[in-house]
Homo-oligomer: A and B are copies of this chain.
Amino acid sequence: MASEEILIVDCDTGIDDALALLYLLADPSVRIGAVTTVFGNTDPETAALNTLRVLELAGRPDIPVAIGAPHNLRGNRHLAPDVHGEDGLGNTHLPVPAVAPIGEPAAELIVRTARENPGAVHLLAVGPLTNLAAALELEPELPRLVKHVTIMGGAMMHPGNVTPAAEANISNDPEAARIVLRAGWPVTLVPLDATMTEAITEEQRQRLADFGSPVTTFTAAILDLYLDFYAKNAFGERKAACHDPLAAAIAVGDVEPLLAPIVPVDVETGDGPARGTTVADLRGQYRGFPADASATVRVVLKTDRTFGERLVERLCGAEETRGAA
């Protein structure tokens, strides 16, 4: 990643959000300007505490954490303790972190940072898109101020996860997702099509546990519940999708998508069975996706399916580096 780029991670930490943060924090060349939190896997206050726990663990308590939207644009929310645990981190129940969240609301932090660093901010959003929609409302020029937006969300030629058609982040706030995906800024969208094929396995989790550093021990611990959920509800075996860390790795250029057309994308916001569906125009698939000048969203449909290994190596490798330093 270019060193002048400032990453703002908007997340609902969350097991795979924690993995994404730890993945990014393991690379000292990645500059995380702030983390903002939103409801989703858990409430935004818990997500902020969890984020601070992760930052502390990685030795980066200096990164500010700002709390954002407690519910979606319709004023309601659905949390996911069944997937992420009652505490949002696999029921590991870590102590309260030493540092507190800052007082600035998430959307205001995003707008201020973008105004202060025009063309430098890369928004990595791995939760519901409510904070980004709020930031666009606060600053309509945001799409011109921000360098890029990378989003984990949606399901194209893959089933949804919270409903037959809809993925959790988009389903949690379809109205916000529609605003964000149609704002005209350059977006990279990382849907289930890619993330469900990038799994971390029980064998890899065990290697993290065996490595025995604070970060890998923590990672192995939070993955335990996550693999339970995925075994029962998705894969039928103990492995889990690397949703948020894959999006993080794509955002910083570590993973180069194998298929990622730039196509029109919309979101269904009606109350029928397709509510929260991402509707991407993939009809050009047999013709190599002819260029569409009106489109601004790059949809990642395929990666090389080696990300679980990359994640493990990164977390163990970074620990080795830190230990040697």
Q: Which residues of A contact B (CB under 8 A)?
A: 157-161, 163-165, 234-236, 264, 266-274, 277, 279-283, 285-288
A156 to B160 Cα, complex, angstroms: 11
Chain B nearest CB from A194 CB (Å) reads: 14
Q: Are A270 and B267 in contact (CB under 8 A)?
A: no
Q: Are B165 and A277 in contact (CB under 8 A)?
A: yes
A158-B157, A164-B280 are known contacts. Are A234 and B286 too (CB-CB below 8 A)?
yes
A268-B273, A270-B271, A277-B277 are known contacts. Are A283 and B157 too (CB-CB below 8 A)?
no
Q: Which residues of B contact A271 (CB under 8 A)?
A: 270
Q: Which residues of B contact A279 (CB under 8 A)?
A: 163-165, 273-274, 277
Q: Which residues of B contact A285 (CB under 8 A)?
A: 159
A266 to B165 Cα, complex, angstroms: 10
A264 to B267 Cα, complex, angstroms: 22
State the 9 A-B residue pairs at the shortest beta-carbon distance, nearest first: A270-B270, A274-B274, A268-B274, A164-B281, A236-B287, A266-B273, A270-B272, A159-B282, A273-B279
Chain B nearest CB from A82 CB (Å) reads: 15
Q: Which residues of B contact A236 (CB under 8 A)?
A: 286-288
Q: Which residues of B contact A274 (CB under 8 A)?
A: 165, 268, 270, 272, 274, 277, 279
Q: Are B281 and A159 in contact (CB under 8 A)?
A: yes
Closest residue on chain B to residue A286 by CB atoms: B235
Chain B nearest CB from A174 CB (Å) reads: 9
Q: Which residues of B contact A283 (CB under 8 A)?
A: 159-161, 164, 234
Task: State which of B164, B269, B281, B282 has its C-beta within 8 Å of the C-beta of A272.
Answer: B269
Chain B nearest CB from A229 CB (Å) reads: 13
Q: Are A282 and B164 in contact (CB under 8 A)?
A: yes
Q: Which residues of B contact A234 (CB under 8 A)?
A: 283, 286-287
Q: Are B160 and A157 in contact (CB under 8 A)?
A: no
Q: Are A267 and B273 in contact (CB under 8 A)?
A: yes
